[in-house]
C-alpha cells in the first residue's frame, strides 16, 4: 500500500515501542503474554493515538491553504487536546465544539484536558448537549469564521475518516515490521474502539498487508452492532482511498460492548482495577475513558479463557492519561 502518495506533516518521527509486560502478565495469571504498543508515547501535548491521524489531516488542511482547525469531542476529549496542540505547533487557530454526553458534565474549571485546552490557548469552546448534530455544529462555527475572513478546516471527531484512518494503516505496517525485527509473532491484538478510526485503520492495515492476526476491539460508547458497522465502514473507506481492491469481511470486525458500563466516560469498577493494575505492576498510566476500559476488557476476556494458553497478545495503548486528573475522586475512593 502506497501511503507516500498522501501528504503528512511528519509528526511521527520514529516507531513507538512494543514492550513486553512481564509483571502484568504474571499478575493476570491467565497463562498468556501481554505486550503493549506504546502509542501513549507519541509526540504532542500529552501524547496519544490522534497524532497519527492528525499527521495526515493537518497536512491536508495546510495544502488547502487553511489557517484554522475546528474539531469536536466529549468534554474531556483527547482528540480535541491533540488537535489544538498541533494547531499551536503549526501556527494555526483552533476552535472546539464539545458535546456534553453526560448532562452537566462540562466544567471550564475542571482539570485534565479541560485545563490543557485553556493552557494551550484554544480560541473558542462551544458546548452543545448530548445528541447534537456535531457536523452541523462545527459547520456553524466554520461559517462564522469564514464570514470574518478566516479559512477553516473541519476535522471530524477523533479524526475518524478515511484520511485520518491512514495513520493506523501506517501503524499496522509499523507493528508488522517490529514483529519481524523482534522475532515475536502475535496471536491476537486488542484495541480500544471509540470513534472507529483507530480500530478501522488497524483492520485496513491488517487486511491490506495480509497480517492474519485476529483483532478484538473493546467498545467504549456504542452498541456492538453499531460500533462494528462504523469500524467496517471506516476500514473499507481507507482501503478505497488507498486504491486497494480488497475489502474487509464483516466477520473480521469484532467490537465488544460489554465493558462500556453505564455510559461513555462514566467510570466502572473494572476500569479502575485495570488502571491501578497497570500502574502498580508496570508503572504505565492508562486513561479512564478509552485504554482503561479497553484493558478491563482484555483482563476479563483473559480470565474467561478467550485467548489460548501461551498466546502472545498485543494491546494498543492509545494514550489519554491527562484525563486521569479529571477523575481524582474515582481513584481516591
Tell me the catalytic residues.
77
Tell me which residue range forms the domain holding 304: 3-48+160-331
User: Are 44 and 57 part of one and the same domain?
Assistant: no
Q: Are residues 203 and 321 in the same domain?
A: yes
Task: Tell me what pLDDT residue 221 has.
Answer: 95
37 and 175 in a common domain: yes
* pLDDT, mean of residues 58-86: 98
State the cell numbers at 246.
Answer: 480488497
CB 222 within 8 A of CB 257: yes
In tens, the pLDDT along 245-280 reads 999 999 999 999 999 999 999 999 999 999 999 999
Stretch 40-62: mean pLDDT: 97
Burial 81-116 (b: 16+ CB within 10 A, else e): bbbbbbbeebebbbbbbbbbbeeebbeeeebbbbbb
Q: Once rounded to an integer, what is the mean pLDDT over residues 175-192? A: 98
- Radius of gyration (Cα) for the chain, nearest Å? 19
> 38 and 97, same structural domain?
no
Q: Are residues 7 and 42 in the same domain?
A: yes
- Spatial neighbors of 287 by CB under 8 A, at least 6 apart, are 78, 275, 318, 319, 320, 321, 322, 323, 324
Count of structural domains within the chain: 2
pLDDT at 131: 95
Phi, psi of 128 (to 5 degrees): -125, 155
Is the same domain home to 168 and 280? yes
We report the CATH number of the domain holding residue 99 as: 3.40.50.1100
> Which is it for strands 33-38 and 18-20: parallel, antiparallel or unpaired?
antiparallel
Question: In this predicted model, what pLDDT tens digit does every residue of 163-181 receive, in sequence order?
Answer: 999 999 999 999 999 999 9
Same domain, 40 and 89: no
**pLDDT of amino acid 333:** 77
Tell whether 101 and 228 lie within a shared domain. Answer: no
**127-147 pLDDT per residue, tens:** 999 999 999 999 999 999 999
Domain end among 158, 180, 210: 158
List helix spans (H) across the chain.
22-28, 50-63, 78-90, 113-119, 134-147, 162-182, 197-208, 224-242, 269-282, 291-303, 328-331
Amino acid at each position: 500500500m502506497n501511503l507516500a502518495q498522501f501528504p503528512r506533516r511528519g509528526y511521527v518521527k520514529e516507531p513507538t515501542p512494543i514492550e513486553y509486560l512481564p509483571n502484568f502478565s504474571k499478575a493476570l495469571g491467565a497463562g498468556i503474554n501481554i505486550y503493549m504498543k506504546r502509542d501513549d508515547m507519541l509526540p504532542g501535548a500529552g501524547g496519544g493515538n490522534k497524532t497519527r491521524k492528525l499527521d495526515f489531516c493537518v497536512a491536508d488542511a495546510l495544502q488547502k491553504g487553511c489557517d484554522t482547525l475546528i474539531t469536536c469531542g466529549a468534554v474531556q476529549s483527547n482528540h480535541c487536546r491533540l488537535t489544538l496542540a498541533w494547531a499551536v505547533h503549526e501556527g494555526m487557530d483552533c476552535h472546539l465544539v464539545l458535546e456534553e454526553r453526560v448532562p452537566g458534565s462540562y466544567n471550564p474549571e475542571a482539570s485534565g484536558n479541560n485545563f490543557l485546552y485553556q493552557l494551550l490557548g484554544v480560541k473558542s469552546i462551544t458546548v452543545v448537549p448530548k445528541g447534537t448534530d456535531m457536523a452541523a455544529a462545527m459547520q456553524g462555527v466554520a461559517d462564522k469564521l469564514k464570514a470574518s475572513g478566516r479559512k477553516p478546516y473541519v476535522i471530524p471527531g477523533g479524526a475518524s475518516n478515511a484520511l485520518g484512518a491512514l495513520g493506523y494503516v501506517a501503524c499496522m505496517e509499523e507493528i508488522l515490521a517490529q514483529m519481524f525485527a523482534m522475532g515475536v509473532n502475535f496471536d491476537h491484538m486488542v484495541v480500544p474502539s471509540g470513534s472507529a478510526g483507530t480500530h478501522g485503520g488497524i483492520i485496513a492495515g491488517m487486511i491490506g498487508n495480509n497480517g492474519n492476526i485476529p483483532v478484538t476491539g473493546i467498545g467504549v460508547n456504542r452498541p456492538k452492532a453499531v460500533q462494528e458497522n462504523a469500524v467496517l465502514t471506516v476500514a473499507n473507506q481507507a482501503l478505497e482511498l488507498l486504491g486497494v481492491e480488497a475489502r474487509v469481511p464483516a466477520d473480521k470486525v469484532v467490537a465488544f460492548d460489554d465493558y462500556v458500563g453505564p455510559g461513555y466516560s462514566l467510570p466502572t469498577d473494572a476500569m479502575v482495577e485495570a488502571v491501578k493494575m497497570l500502574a502498580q505492576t508496570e508503572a504505565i498510566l492508562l486513561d479512564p475513558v478509552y485504554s482503561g476500559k479497553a484493558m478491563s476488557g482484555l483482563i476479563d476476556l483473559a480470565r474467561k479463557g478467550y485467548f489460548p494458553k501461551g498466546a502472545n497478545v498485543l494491546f494498543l495503548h492509545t494514550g489519554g492519561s491527562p484525563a486521569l486528573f479529571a477523575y481524582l475522586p474515582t481513584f481516591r475512593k
